[in-house]
Chains A and B, each alone.
Chain A
Amino acid sequence: MSLIEIDHLSKSYGAHQVIKDVSLSVEAGEVLAVIGRSGSGKSTLLRCLNGLEQINGGALRIDGRAVTYDKRALRQLRKRVAMVFQSYNLFPHMSAQDNVALAPRIVGKLERKASLDIAHEMLGRVGLSDKHDAYPRDLSGGQQQRVAIARALAVRPEILLLDEVTAALDPELVGEVLKVLGDLASEGLTMVLVTHEIAFARKAASRVAFMHEGRVHEIGPAQDVIGNPQTPELQRFLASVIA
């Protein structure tokens, strides 16, 4: 049994079908990179995985359990499947450590002290042990995104979803975030990341899925999919992003 099983999944906004009959699975410890043009449905697919979007057809199972949308099930799901966003979305009224400690305290029901211990541990993992008390406004984009990764890790999820987490960063700040992601991948955390960083996908991902117009066009080992694209759509896409 795979950790994530996506089975003939479809998703529409009104009459517009964004995801069309997608099936794939992700094993525990695997890093799946999803690439494709804007509007190809890759972010929507990611958002389905933690219930931010409800699926319209097919099935979605995390660790064998079908995803449902009642309150309690969603809370449990989101403890296991955490997410990092393109624009960080840190809470601006809280320091870095309070941002990270919030979910362990509220959702994990820990004492403040215990939740702060977790925050310090997670900020250490992303290399920000010196920024416990800094507010988001005082941090660079790269640092904010690392705090956001620490915040997502603080509930000790089994799966980390990353939605174009380097797309909003200045080019010189991308490296520090990718390094953190590379470390997490080598520690065996299961990750699904939507990215435009083709070189990173090739290096850090175990598999790559290429999405085009709501379907998975190609999927396979990163080296093969990126190094030896089979369909003209992927060839054109790679030519346009690498050129």
Chain B
Amino acid sequence: MIREFTLNHVWFILAGAGWTILLTAIALFFGSILGLVLAILRQSPNAILRVAAGSLVRIFQGVPLVVVIFMIYFGIAGGGLNVSPLMACSIGLSLFAGAFLGEIWRGAIQAIPAQQWEAADALGFTALERLRYAILPQAIRLSMPATIGFIVQLVKGTSVASMVGYVELMRAGQVVNGSTFDSFTVFGLVALIYLAINLPLSFLSKRIEQVKL
């Protein structure tokens, strides 16, 4: 039975947008922690840590996100463990975000001139203090445009969650489309909502680029 596209459908899609934002926030939170650890480990004096971190980055950058999420959702479920779609997507997206943010931040850390590291050394800082007080504040600022650019990718990346049945923005659109068949209106609305989430991020990035260090 084909239904009319109504305000209720709009609310349903907006609720989906809420889950998209939640999923993005979860992935960003855990991905940031993972990314920071990876960025630091990739410059460790210990070769094993360096190679391990580098391999992790390459794997999660090289394998499509949807494959990672399928492996977690169907793969682990096949092993007898019950993994919810939200859990599977959170893990997959966090690994994805960690790999990309780790790489962005590694580049930013390496871009801080050697003299800055040396100045911190000469003040008697330990390696961690040097990162915490001298290097990271500069690297984070330097990486902001690329970081925000990646968050935009992450917001769009959450649409993959629709493929394991998690009702975020994309899946909500598919559900409504399934009953109304008003594809242009439905996916037009979905597209507008993605834009409404991402455009402010793009503007923010532009603003930050103009701030002097």
* A98-133 interface (Cβ within 8 A of B): 102-103, 106-107
Q: How far is the CA of A71 from the CA of B130 in the complex (A)?
A: 13
Q: Are A52 and B122 in contact (CB under 8 A)?
A: yes
Please provide the chain B residues from 193 to 213 with a CB less than 8 Å away from any CB of chain A in the complex: 212-213
Residues of B within 8 A of A77 (CB): 124
Binds B, one of A9-17, A81-89, A170-178: A81-89
With A92-B213, A93-B213, A106-B129: A50-B138 Cβ-Cβ less than 8 Å: no
Q: B123: CB under 8 A from chain A?
A: yes
Q: Does A222 contact B (CB under 8 A)?
A: no
Known A85-B119, A87-B115; contact A93-B141, beta-carbon cutoff 8 A:
yes
Q: How far is B70's CA from A140's CA once the two chains are assembled, in angstroms? A: 58
CB pair B138–A83 under 8 Å, yes or no, is no
On A, residues with C-beta under 8 Å from B are: 50, 52, 71, 74-79, 82-83, 85, 87, 89-93, 102-103, 106-107, 137, 151-152, 155
**CA A137 to CA B138, docked complex, whole Å:** 14
Query: Are the CB atoms of B115 and A85 closer together than 8 Å?
Result: yes
Q: In the bound complex, do residue B138 and residue A155 qualify as a contact, i.e. CB atoms below 8 Å apart?
A: no
B153 at the interface (CB under 8 A from A): no
| Chain A residues with CB under 8 A of B122 | 50, 52, 78, 82-83, 85, 152
Distance in angstroms between the alpha carbons of A102 and B124 in the assembled complex: 11
Shortest CB distance A197–B (Å): 21
The answer on a CB contact under 8 Å between A91 and B124 is no
Q: Verify A155–B123 contact, CB threshold 8 A.
A: yes
- State the CA gap A87–B119 with chains docked (Å): 10
CB-CB contacts below 8 Å: B23-81 with A: none
Which of A78, A85, A93, A137 is the most central at the interface, judged by chain B CB atoms within 10 Å of its CB?
A: A93
A135 → chain B, closest Cβ, in Å? Answer: 9
24 chain-A/chain-B pairs, Cβ below 8 angstroms: A52-B118, A52-B121, A75-B124, A75-B126, A78-B123, A78-B124, A82-B123, A83-B122, A85-B118, A85-B122, A89-B118, A91-B116, A91-B134, A91-B137, A91-B138, A92-B138, A92-B213, A102-B123, A103-B125, A106-B133, A107-B123, A107-B129, A137-B213, A155-B123
Best-surrounded residue of B123, B125, B126, B138 (most CB of chain A within 10 A): B123
Given the complex of chains A and B, what is the CA–CA distance between A90 and B118 in angstroms? 11
Q: How many A-B residue pairs have CB under 8 A?
A: 59
Residues of B within 8 A of A (CB-CB), count: 18
Assess whether B116 is in contact with A79, with CB atoms less than 8 Å apart: no
Residues of B within 8 A of A151 (CB): 123
Other contacts beyond A75-B124, A85-B122, A103-B123: 8, CB < 8 A: A52-B121, A85-B115, A85-B119, A91-B138, A92-B138, A93-B137, A93-B141, A107-B123
Return chain B residues, CB-CB under 8 Å to A79.
Answer: 124
4 closest A-B pairs by CB? A78-B124, A89-B119, A103-B123, A83-B122
Taking a contact as CB atoms under 8 Å apart, the answer to whether A102 and B119 are in contact is no
Chain A residues lying within 8 Å of B126, measured Cβ to Cβ, are 71, 75
> B133 to A74, Cβ gap below 8 A?
no
Contact A106 B116, CB 8 Å, known A91-B134, A93-B213: no
**B73-122 interface with A by 8 A CB criterion:** 115-116, 118-119, 121-122
